[in-house]
Structure 1
Amino acid sequence: MLPTMRFSALRLAALTLLVSSVTATAVRPKCDPKARGPSLQQRQSAAIRDFAHIFLIEQDPKKAFDAYIPGTYIQHNPDALSGREPAIAFLTELWGTPSLKFSNVTAWAGEGYGLIHYRMRAPDADIHNAIMDRLRFEGTCFVEHWDVIQRINGNETNPLAFF
């Protein structure tokens, strides 16, 4: 039984690698603001995970916005102007910080909202934050954004703080 399980595990690992490489290079479908139906929750979950991947792992705000924020974008961050183009400009400048890295990324969706929780760190720019982005869906597109940002000082009393 062990050789069969090992072979199956290897096949699964190879298939996973193939799927992830195809997904990474494939053209992503545009979001659909009119998406409805019983699979909507599942499609929104896939959208928030893909958005988080493009936005944080690939570190490409414009590509993420082009895929999932095609039109109206209401911004609630007090340091950024509302609208799609001002958000792209703001994020592109911030993402241009040379040492900027993201980790501890978690993304999920439910009841018409997507949430992304992550660590943002740029030691050269004195940035070390825990961030929670909340995005409101229309179909599988995002149209509104809120965020909560907590500074990580490194001397927190609670060793489980943030993540």
Structure 2
Amino acid sequence: MRASITLLSTLFLTLTFTGPALAGGHPAERTNSSDTTPPQPCTPQTVSPFRQEEIFYTLVDTLYVARTVSEAYTHFVEDFINHNPATVDGIASSFALVEPLFTNSNTAVKVQILHQAFVAPYGWVHYRIDGFNPEPTAVVDVFRFDGSCVVEHWDIIQERPVNSTSSHPLF
């Protein structure tokens, strides 16, 4: 795996396990994205599938649109399972990688959400990222919820090849 793909995978695994504070056990102790200390983790509480969907879309907006990484991470349990081979489980390692690269103040990195959906207890978001690798990169992040919190994350990352055999666009 190329180093840029490995670093990007690590970055996005970290990012995907964050979220803004919501009612129901999601503490919002930090909103300053320049703070490099991970936020307080989410404590799972029983919620309806409808509420899980609301939390998922809030997470997506906070992480990928507003890019307030510390708020986004309040939706993750402390020891969430991260399936990216370039990082370890949990908030601390993921946050340390993602926060400086994906924070709102890093204007070199551009994110465009292409698709998103939620079917309890899973949500996924497909997006384009520019400014991290030499070529635009497609990413799909998948989150699994336990009640009100994200407990597991997967990602699929593909940088657009310079000379593609396929005539179909990546995005």
Please give the TM-score of this superposition, normalised by the length of structure 2. 0.66
The whole-number CA distance in structure 2 between the counterparts of 1:115 and 1:155 is 28
Q: Which residue of 2 aligns with 1:61?
A: 69
Q: Is the 8 A contact 2:135 2:162 kept in 1?
A: no
Partner of 2:119: 110
- Relative contact order, higher structure (CA 8 A, sep 6+): 2
Q: Residues 60-139 of structure 1: matches in 2 within 5 Å?
A: 60-66=68-74, 68-95=75-102, 97-122=106-131, 125-126=133-134, 128-139=136-147
Cα separation, 1, equivalents of 2:135 and 2:100: 14
RMSD of aligned alpha carbons:
2.5
| Counterpart position of 2:9 | none
1:45 maps to a residue whose letter is: E
Q: Secondary structure at the match of 1:71?
A: strand
| Matching residue of 2:29 | none
* Aligned-partner Cα distance in 1 for 2:63–2:135: 18
SS across alignment from 1:73: strand
Total equivalences in the alignment: 132
- The amino acid of 1:112's aligned partner reads P
Cα displacement string for residues 50-100 of structure 1 (whole angstroms, at most 9, x for unaligned residues): 11111111112221012x114321111112221111111111132255410
Q: Which amino acid aligns with 1:34?
A: Q
Determine if contact 1:41/1:109 at 8 Å carries over to the other structure: no
Q: Could you tell me how far 1:154 is from its partner in structure 2?
A: 5.7
Return the alpha-carbon distance in structure 1 between the equivalents of residues 170 and 51 of structure 2.
28
Unaligned runs of 5+ in 1: 1-26
Q: Distance in 1 between matches of 2:102 and 2:126?
A: 17
Runs (4 or more) in structure 1 with deviation over 6 Å come to: none
Deviations 1:17-65, CA, capped at 9 Å, x for gaps: xxxxxxxxxx7432662224xxx22222211111111111111222101
Identity within the alignment, %: 25
Larger radius of gyration: 1
In structure 2, which of residues 56, 59, 68 is the aligned counterpart of residue 51 of structure 1?
59
Are the counterparts in 2 of residues 70 and 141 from structure 1 also a CA contact under 8 Å?
Answer: yes
**1:33 equivalent in alignment to 2:44:** yes
2:31 corresponding residue in structure 1: none
Q: State how far apart, in whole Å, the 2-side matches of 1:105 and 1:141 are.
A: 24
